[in-house]
Amino acid sequence: MEKEWKSSTRQEYRTHKCCELNEKCIDKEVRVAGFIENVRDHGGVIFVDVRDDSGVIQVVSNDDSIFEGITKESSVTVKGVIRKRDEDDYNERIITGTIELLVEEFTILGKANNVLPFEVITSKEVNEDVRLKYRYLDLRNPKVKRNIIFRSKIISFLRSLMSNDDFLEIQTPILTASSPEGARDFIVPSRKYKGKFYALPQAPQQFKQLLMCGGFDKYFQVAPCFRDEDARSDRLYGEFYQLDLEMAFVNEEDVLEVGEKIFYEAFLEFAKDKKISPRPFKRLTFKEAMDKYGTDKPDLRNPLEIIDVTSVFEETTFRPFRGVDVKAIVVDDIADKSNSWFNELVDYAKEIGMPGIGYFKIMSDMSFAGPIDKFLSDDEREELIKVAKLKEDSVIFFIADRNYACKYASLIRDELGRKLDLIDKNEYAFCIVKDFPMFEWSEEDEKYIFTHNPFSMPQGGMDSLNNKKEDEILAYQYDFVCNGVEMASGAVRNHDIAIMKKVFEIAGYSEDELQKRFKALYEAFKYGAPPHAGMALGIDRMIMLLLDEDSIRETIAFPMTAGGTDLLMNSPSEVSELQLREDHIKIRD
């Protein structure tokens, strides 16, 4: 599709983008500007490719001396006449492949060094540290640039979606107070108040709840968040962006419907050629997710499920299955796999920390064949056939462990999905995991701590807090998960001051400490706080998934390394003694 480009009236550097030039422009005088991508000498005739952010145009001159001394990646402006290429010279890989620009004027605007750190067009194959050090060159790569342009379009679409649904965009502070929200804060020293510190927000959590207390019905923000936690392939170090939203006078289902609409509409718009889960998304309780998939972030493209067979082995004489949790995964019609195939799975089990993995095949007479069959009793075999619904040619895999059976079973399920090619790469399978435990026991702290957001409403309210065991109390908390990746997290918020006191008391906070740490919410809840709920969608992860990138850093214009350094700007860096003194800081040895 042809695109109309809105240029300035002066047109000093260009009249057209490369993508706008086609055979309709033949014999027209135009001016383009961009970077020199390639210089080719074809038997004394020099061809130059000029690239802008829309595409590439081949430039040629009757006087080759005009190109003398040019270097790749120099910025240039070129004036000339469009002409048709010879058919033998057509280049079907670019949209301007049937035309070229015959030069009248050629001006170098910014000359590049003769030696480049890397070839721009193949920069994605270069060591990441080198790419990030020269990120401005890396961004010239059309594949890299495509991701950043895609990011801009996604964020613009999300903003439009929210505004059309009567959400009001409001910016919340970047400099705020430190609060315990699950990760380390980035702290900022105060020059004016000696010994005191601001903190960068881990999330706009308290502010958006205060907006609800302030009488706003629907808030959203493309919010920067800052957490001093280690990076992973799907988590950036230091900062990330989320689509943050909150709603007043709503319940859990109201927010889930909004979340479903956002994800469905966004993926429908930007992944038109993929299968997307229809609304409503599948709902799973936390317990169901852990029981069936061994994780609260299940990849539902994988049809395999985990079953608990612990009860089958309550009286077993097989030592590895005694007194531990025993999970199993049944896969039909794979009994004919080679020994090497099964050995690869055993090796993988050892890599993730298991001693190995037990399994056996089901034969045509329903007998078992495998390394652990001889250790089972007839009663155990019969019970397994019933519980696991075993049939001819199926294979049952066992995962046994005292503490980590769920974790290992989840990893084995994922590996089986990969090895058996069960994962549809053209599908986005969404689900909602809800009803998370409010508290969990921490061996390190020797007390109950919050499993998720401390500001969530416990299911059953004060009655549950007073009459249930701590590990039995559920919260109105929910996650959106897609293809095994957590995409959003949210909750119905606690807006009752008495329940707030009790919740924090269970987690070991005195009322004085609660008042001190969360003074604004504590006070606001005294003045008729409305019921409210919300969620936050990970924008970076959404883009990573839509682009099918392995690293989340590929979605960011200027990311840090996985180790948390900015090689482009050389940060973190030392500061002067004067700056330290003004901020009342002394560096200890």
pLDDT of residue 1: 42
Mean pLDDT along residues 489-496? 96
- Section 82-94 average pLDDT: 92
Average pLDDT for 288-301: 97
User: DSSP label at 116?
Assistant: -
Confidence of residue 491 (pLDDT cuts 50, 70, 90): very high
Domain ranges (residues) in the chain? 18-110, 127-274+532-589, 302-423
- CATH architecture for the domain at 18-110: Beta Barrel (2.40)
pLDDT digits 0-9 by tens, 363-415? 999 999 988 888 999 999 999 999 999 999 999 999 999 999 999 999 999 99
Looking at residue 182, its pLDDT comes to 61
Burial degree of 225 (CB within 10 A; 0-12, 13-18, 19+): buried
- Those residues whose C-beta lies under 8 Å from the C-beta of residue 49, and which sit 6 or more positions away, are 36, 37, 38, 39, 40, 56, 57, 58, 59
Flag whether pLDDT at 585 surpasses 50.
yes
Per-residue confidence (pLDDT) for residue 181, from 0 to 100: 56
Distance, in Å, from the CA atom of 304 to the CA atom of 419, rounded to the nearest integer, reads 12
pLDDT of residue 180: 60
Contact status, residue 274 vs residue 562, Cβ threshold 8 Å: no
Reduced to 3 states (helix: H, G, I; strand: E, B; else coil), residue 11 is coil
pLDDT at 507 over 60: yes
Show Cβ contacts of residue 561 under 8 Å, excluding neighbours closer than 6 positions: 128, 129, 132, 237, 567
CA distances from 326 to 291, 310, 409 (A): 12, 5, 9
5 has a pLDDT exceeding 60: no
Tell me the angle at which helices 539-547 and 142-164 cross, rounded to the nearest 10 degrees.
Answer: 130
Integer-rounded Cα Rg, in Å, for the chain is 30
| CATH superfamily of domain region 302-423 | GAD-like domain (3.30.1360.30)
- pLDDT above 80 (res 490): yes
Segment 350-357 long-range contacts (CB within 8 Å, at least 24 positions apart): 352/408, 352/411, 353/404, 353/408, 354/399, 354/401, 354/408, 355/320, 357/397, 357/398, 357/399, 357/412
Mean pLDDT confidence for 125-139: 96
pLDDT at residue 121 is higher than 80:
yes
The per-residue pLDDT for 270 is 97
* Architecture in CATH of 127-274+532-589: 2-Layer Sandwich (3.30)
For the ranges 220-234, 472-486, 567-581, the maximum mean pLDDT occurs at 472-486
Rounded Cα–Cα distance for residues 207 and 189 (Å): 21
Average of per-residue pLDDT across 429-457: 92
pLDDT at residue number 371: 83
Q: What is the average per-residue pLDDT within 51-59?
A: 95
Residue pointed to by tokens 């009994």? 335
Report the alpha-carbon distance of residue 289 to residue 233 in Å, rounded: 23
The pLDDT of residue 231 = 82
| Each residue's pLDDT tens digit, 159-179 | 999 999 999 999 999 999 887
Average pLDDT, the chain: 93
Taking phi over 0 as left and psi of -120 to 50 as alpha, with beta for the rest, 343 belongs to alpha
In the block, tokens 């987690």 appear at 507
Give 516-558 pLDDT, tens digit per residue: 888 999 999 999 999 999 999 999 999 999 999 989 999 999 9
